[in-house]
Amino acid sequence: MNRSLQRLVTIVVACSVTVFAAVWASEQTPRKEEPTLADAQRMIRAAEGTLAPVYAPLAEEIADRLRLSDREGVGVDLGSGPGTLILELCKRTRLHWINADINPYFFAYFFSKAQTVGCAGRVSAILADACALPLRDNFVDVVVSRGSLQFWPDLQKGLSEVHRILKPGGVAYIGRGFPESLPLEVATQIRNGQGEGMKYDPDRMEQQLREAMKSLGIENYRIYRPHTGDAEGIRYGLWLEFHKYGPQRHKPVE
């Protein structure tokens, strides 16, 4: 079998698995609005263009901060979209990564890119709503998410679901924005290209995250607020890290 045909077969098989997961998960995951191919294409363009400089340093920061280089098991990127962050994390970790996204139109692109960079055997994809994750309790070792929490219908419910699927000893790193190491000039260029639609109040978001952690009874958490660029008025975002040390520390959302 030549290389092109082998690649095509791999993508078809991977997409078939994804379709099966999507059909199963669709019965578990009610959605108010169906995602579209146009939505996926728009985000893919952003990941390949404006946001491209973010993913490698962010993956480096996550792997270093969470000490993932030698960790084994399963990681989930919630709302990964094109999966660009996953592909960078694959270079820096030994985990198997799941792209859990509500838009299945990303997945063919994701599997194709994974094949291209040589990590197709270490990734999966599943159709998933952040507030109703189709994964069993205590299943994954790591959950990460960049830039999706602002779209969750219920922030507290989404964080409760992340905590539920984490194994005891697992860790989550969730937020929006940039890694602290991203140069100010790059961050400025990205923000200028995003326009007014991406403006938000980091103080308000931090308050919401703290309130959710308190309501869920999760005490083992930190919130990071990169300050690089604050003097220039450039928002680097904020990040929530929390650990799961036992189910008794968590109040599930009904």
Residue 154, phi then psi, degrees to nearest 5:
-145, 105
Please name which of 157, 107, 104 lies closest in space to residue 128, comparing C-alpha atoms: 104
Residue range 88-105, pLDDT digits in tens: 999 999 999 999 999 999
pLDDT surpasses 80 at 143: yes
CA–centroid distance for 96 within its chain = 14
Residue range 61-95, pLDDT digits in tens: 999 999 999 999 999 999 999 999 999 999 999 99
pTM of the prediction? 0.84
Q: Where are the domains of the chain?
A: 3-249
Tell me how many helices (H) and strands (E) the chain has: 8, 7
H or E element that contains 56: helix 52-65
Residue range 177-224, pLDDT digits in tens: 999 999 999 998 998 887 665 678 889 999 999 999 999 999 999 999
Architecture of domain 3-249: 3-Layer(aba) Sandwich (3.40)
Residue 162's SS3 state is helix
